[in-house]
Structure 1
């Protein structure tokens, strides 16, 4: 019975100990990192959707506030993100028998510069992109545009998050 108690205590200690840089959200944030700075991402694409920059920036900031315990600051963050939206384009994807588009694809591309001021070897500059397919008969306005932004921005912001602090 005494041997069983030692094994139980060992397992309890082993399962409750942590290396100090792993979080339950899958992040590997250094323990010294306390703040994140996410600058406004201007829309430098040839085709400009007026609300895209603001929606992207807010969605990206919200992701960090929800999935980490970092404080959002306007300057001097331990983690810093800056960049620009470089692509916003609509292309026909599939054709009908009448040689017209049956489906269109909206693609958004974002260039990101990430600076980890505590662990500088984590710094990177990378382009992230995602798309949304929609019926060619639909106009890319209202609910269709909202659905497209929701899917694309969720995917791009999560990809940036994974590349910077989850190391996926």
Structure 2
């Protein structure tokens, strides 16, 4: 190798390190400064409604922890993390949509819903120990999913609807906390 090529390579190496240290981009959209933030604690989200499946609290907490573990380099700790998330499930309701006349059913004069939706709302608080710019307290995250009660029963539809809604709320909380959207 000539002296000129060695010199070019030596100039190229510091530039690579400089660029690499300046970039903190993630394909998940997370913008976390891993020099300041290394841990996250996610408290159990309790179901304050008394409605819904008995496992919904643990299911939501697990989904939230799994999502952060899969999409960030943060270490999940029991309490006192650099990032802290806690909250509760405050709504689990079915609402009728698209009413239809009931003349064709065994209950001849009753109206029914052609579509029903399940609405789940989660209240969450977020604390970033190193930077309080994006902290929030008791922020509501609500999503819904619909089903046709003439095709499937509420009991049969509930597990899939609940799973879909919880996934959406987990993504909303992730975006509000570490993606800064």
Q: State TM-score, norm by structure 2.
A: 0.80
Instruction: Give CA deviations for 1:24-45 in whole Å, capped at 9, x if unaligned.
Output: 3211112211111010000001
Q: Is residue 101 of structure 2 the alignment partner of residue 88 of structure 1?
A: no
Equivalent residue number for residue 109 of structure 1: 121
How much has 1:14 moved relative to structure 2? 10
Give 5+ residue unaligned stretches, structure 2. Answer: 1-7, 103-110
Contact kept? 2:134, 2:180, Cα under 8 Å: no
Contact kept? 1:92, 1:104, Cα under 8 Å: yes
How much has 1:151 moved relative to structure 2? 1.1
What does 1:16-165 align with in structure 2 at a 5 Å threshold? 17=20, 19-31=22-34, 32-45=36-49, 47-98=51-102, 99-125=111-137, 126-137=139-150, 138-142=152-156, 144-165=157-178
After TM superposition, the runs of 4+ consecutive aligned structure 1 residues lying more than 3 A away are: 12-18
Alignment size in residue pairs: 161
The more displaced of 125-134 and 94-103 is 94-103
What CA distance in whole angstroms lies between the structure 2 residues aligned with 1:25 and 1:52? 26
Q: State TM-score, norm by structure 1.
A: 0.85
Name the Cα RMSD after superposition. Answer: 2.5
User: Alpha carbons of 1:25 and 1:48: their partners in 2 closer, same or farther (altered >3 Å)?
Assistant: closer
What CA distance in whole angstroms lies between the structure 2 residues aligned with 1:165 and 1:62? 15
